[in-house]
A = this chain, B = another copy of it.
Amino acid sequence: MNRVTRLFQPTAPIPKSLQNSQLIKSQRMMLEQGVIRATSTGLYTLLPLGMRALKKLENIVDRYMEKVGAQKILLPTLTSDQLWEQSGRLEEAKAGSELFLLEDRHKKRYILGPTHEEAITELLAAGTRLSYRRLPLLLYQISNKYRDEPRPRFGLLRTREFVMKDLYSFDANAENALKTYESVTEAYNGIFQELGVKYVRVEGDSGMMGGSMSHEFHYPCEAGEERIIQCNACNVPTNASLLQIQSDSCPHCQSTDISTMAGIEVGHTFILGTRYSKPMNATFIADDKSMQSLIMGCYGLGLSRILAASLEALSLPTELRWPLCIAPYKACIITPKHGSKEEAASVLTQGLYDSIECNSFFKNDVIVDDRTNLSIGRRITEAKRSGYPLIIVIGKKAVEDIPRFEVIDLVNNREYEWTDGSLASRLKEYCPQI
């Protein structure tokens, strides 16, 4: 049985190092509620609640990656700076000065990978005789990425070490690359729909990645650092950073009937073309036996950022709200207080726990707040702050002839009274159609 008294959830005041910075809602609550812990500027530990959410998110992403036929790999984080020299990106990246650079004992220089276009392209270049029959090829990884941010802030939204899913695609020609682009876009739509946070997909800026096409996925959110333009004339949403000059018109149709909003970037897709495959000599054998450059795409999802951004978008000022599918636990049972009138109902705890858990949707996703020295009211408040989607209280009505439990449904913002007998069918209703 999962118990709050066994859970490492060090609720802590905001650390000194952050007291003078501008804190956003999700950041403050993730820190206070023991979801994350700040260790150094822009560096965070994921505590058990945060780690459970990340793991669930990874599983969702893995499932969608499998759907599009992507295969999981793991590239080293240490990337030789020679590869970046070969792609022609080293000087520009160094000038941006967000690279973490280091040397080994032989003075060979490495980059702590902020992204892996070079590394993956080399993997396809080095002696791999790839036939057009094996394309499209989609390879992805979930791993730490590094960026020496000038201004780390907003908790997991802008850190120096973060968890990213990066997918790279390889196609024989531009037409097929576009098909791959569309199928990955569909997978991303699936992931974001499953998370259930309102999102927009906008034309993006290829920036220093190069390539011919790019889209960004954003959570519209006041705390967001990017500006999204929604054109009411042509309906094409755009990232405002695309505009060379800050204008107040749509970059597509020049209409001035636009609205803007703040957004948090949570995903980014690019068609890279031969930007990396050409200089790094990543080729395939075409059907006429000629060697041709692979057409590449790359697709990123900021996983640790999605955790924080979805909390930022959904939460109340004093209560976390998790997307149901990544909530660290889906249900929390609050037991009677020690010495209270309803204490006799404590014996119902195990049965209640088991009857919820036997619904596979809740399997290993129930936790009991067994801190019986605290009042029920106090624990309900804390359960709401932690954002358990379903809170089930063994309270006063649990000692009646037909015991009833108080149920607080944070997702739909409702309260119920359920009996043991009605529990199974009510829980079934509660499960989303997934």
Which residues of chain A have a CB within 8 Å of any CB of chain B?
5-8, 10, 12-13, 15, 37, 39-41, 43-48, 50-52, 54-55, 69, 71-78, 80, 97, 100-102, 104-105, 108, 112, 119, 122-123, 126-128, 130, 133-134, 137, 139, 143-144, 146, 148, 150, 160-161, 163
Contacts and interface: CB of A to CB of B under 8 A. Distances in A.
B102 A73 contact: no
B55 A72 contact: yes
20 contacts: A5-B133, A6-B69, A13-B127, A15-B126, A37-B123, A39-B123, A45-B74, A45-B123, A46-B73, A48-B139, A51-B74, A76-B161, A77-B161, A78-B100, A78-B146, A78-B160, A78-B161, A100-B104, A101-B102, A104-B148
Given A74-B54, A104-B148, A12 B97 contact: no
Contacts of A133: 5
B40 A80 contact: yes
Contacts of A72: 48, 51-52, 55
Nearest to A134: B5
A313 B199 CA distance: 50
Contacts of A73: 8, 45-48, 50-51
Contacts of A13: 127
Nearest to A76: B43
B77 A144 contact: yes
A36 to B, nearest CB: 10
Contacts of A160: 78, 104
A384 B245 CA distance: 62
Contacts of A52: 72
Contacts of A55: 72
Which of A45, A97, A102 is packed against the most chain B CB atoms within 10 Å? A45
A72 to B, nearest CB: 5
Shortest Cβ-Cβ A-B pairs, 3 listed: A102-B102, A48-B71, A46-B74
Contact of A76 (B45, B76, B100): B45
Contact of A122 (B39, B51, B102, B108): B39
Nearest to A124: B10
A126 B47 CA distance: 14
A172 to B, nearest CB: 15
A90 to B, nearest CB: 16
A105 B40 contact: no
B148 A105 contact: yes
Nearest to A150: B105
A108 B7 CA distance: 34
Given A45-B75, A75-B39, A119-B39, A105 B112 contact: no
Contacts of A48: 71-73, 139
B71 A8 contact: yes
From A55, A104, A119, A163, name the one whose CB has the most chain B CB atoms within 10 angstroms. A104
A100 B146 CA distance: 15
A76 B15 CA distance: 17
Given A45-B73, A104-B148, 5 more contacts: A6-B69, A12-B127, A37-B126, A43-B76, A48-B72
A186 B37 CA distance: 31
Nearest to A130: B10
A126 to B, nearest CB: 7
A420 to B, nearest CB: 28
Residue in A55, A71, A97 with the greatest tally of chain B CB atoms within 10 Å: A71
A136 to B, nearest CB: 10
A139 B37 CA distance: 14
Contacts of A163: 74
Contacts of A76: 39-40, 43-45, 161
A67 B97 CA distance: 45
Contacts of A134: 5-6, 8
Contacts of A143: 144
